[in-house]
Amino acid sequence: MSDSECIRTFKFKFRRMELRKEKIIEKLLFVSALSSILIVFFIIAFMLKESIPALALGWDFFFGMTWHPSHEQFGIFPIVVTTFVVGIGALAIAAAIGIPTAIFLAEFSPRWLRNIIKPCVEMLVGIPSIVLGFFGLMVLVVFIRDSFGGYGECILAGWIILAIMTLPHVISISEDSIRAVPKGYKEASLALGATQLQTIRRAILPNARSGILASLILGMGNAVGETMAVLMVIGNPEIPWIPSSILEPVRVLTSTIVLEYSYVVWGSMHQHALFAIGVVLFVIVAIFNLVTTVAVKGRFGATTAIKGVIGSR
């Protein structure tokens, strides 16, 4: 066998080995992807299995006004209402601060100032929720109690803490969405004689709307699903009710599970009701994520940034 034939034979064998390696890697990647799907499926299946007895209560569970497990009363309607009250209020504060901040960073801020503000905002993501909760408990709750009266542990404290946790998502995604709008839109508006503020209001923000909306929906999902920080500052009364003031203590879905699961009797209706609360919470957050994913497909929104934040969750 000549040298050239030996080289061709070696290249052929080497190529076959490479193809086999690629097929093995492809199968491993497929198994990894499949295992992720199966893990989610089994979690959902287990939660549904354990929650069916409580979900079977129907109207009494979903729209019952009293949560008192020791009296076999498992109405979650007040808890669901207060969960949305706390989440929506926090989102309103985050939007009022975050969207103007995003506009400033994208359109007005000099580069050196943006390089200071942006890392500081993103640093909020890395602060553990229990640290923020402890800050809220020791500082914010005391301030509210001394300034406005009441217990201090209330809806207002939950709003502020959750708004701080939601701000990085709102600011980062909204800023990226504004920057993603083609520069030609801004240049055309300025060329027609519009001021910079008019250009932002009438040309840039309408085209960045989908990304900004997605940041708010994603922030709402984070606020609804947050546990430890909100647990430490909202009061968590033993028997929850629908509040009439932002200075009243409340209980949300996540804190109910954390507080009561340590002493629940396994196999009791109480245990099934807590799993059912988990299912309700899962459905709410899944809907928010689905709406966010749909909003990502809108015009110019910061698709990569939003998908990255969703993936990190």
List pLDDT tens digits, range 89-101. Answer: 999 999 999 999 9
SS3 for 204-217, per residue?
HHHHCHHHHHHHHH
Q: Which amino acid is at 83?
A: T
Between CA 150 and CA 249 the distance in angstroms is 9
Q: Is residue 194 part of a domain?
A: yes
Q: What is the pLDDT of residue 296?
A: 65
What's the pLDDT score for residue 299?
A: 47
How would you write 123-169 as a 3-class SS string? HHHHCCHHHHHHHHHHHHHHHHHHHHCCCCCCHHHHHHHHHHHHHHH
Indicate whether 188 belongs to any domain: yes
Which CATH number belongs to the domain containing residue 151 in this structure?
Answer: 1.10.3720.10
Amino acid, single-letter form, for residue 272: H
**Where is average pLDDT lowest: 122-126, 232-236, 257-261?**
122-126
Answer yes or no: is 255 within a domain. yes
Asked whether residue 138 is domain-assigned, the answer is yes
Residue 207 covered by a domain: yes
| Residue 57 C-alpha from the chain's centroid | 29
How many domains does one find in the chain? 1
CB neighbour list of residue 279: distance below 8 Å, 6 or more residues apart: 47, 48, 51, 55
Q: What is the mean pLDDT of residues 202-210?
A: 86
> By CB neighbour count within 10 A (0-12 exposed, 13-18 middle, 19+ buried), where does 141 fall?
buried
If you average pLDDT over every residue of the chain, what do you get?
84
Q: What is the rounded distance in angstroms from the CA atom of residue 313 to the CA atom of residue 306?
A: 11
Sign of the dihedral defined by the CA atoms of residues 132, 133, 137, 141, in that order: positive
Cα–Cα dist 67/60, whole Å: 10
Kindly tell me if the per-residue pLDDT of 294 is higher than 80.
no
Residue 21 in any domain: the answer is: no
> Measuring CA to CA, which residue among 271, 305, 61 is closest to residue 180?
305
Mean pLDDT in residue range 32-50: 89
Confidence label for 309 from pLDDT (cuts 50, 70 and 90): very low
Angle (nearest 5°) at CA 132 between 130 and 134: 65
In a domain, 29, yes or no: no
- Compute how many other C-beta atoms are within 10 angstroms of the C-beta atom of residue 49: 11
Structural domain that includes position 283: 59-312
Q: Is 15 inside a domain boundary?
A: no
pLDDT band at 307 (very low <50, low <70, confident <90, very high): very low
Nearest to 13 by CA among 2, 5, 3, 25: 5
Nearest to 207 by CA among 183, 172, 237, 223: 183
**Does position 3 have pLDDT exceeding 70, yes or no?**
no
Amino acid occupying residue 2:
S
| Tokens describing residue 92 | 């309103």
pLDDT tops 80 at residue 308: no
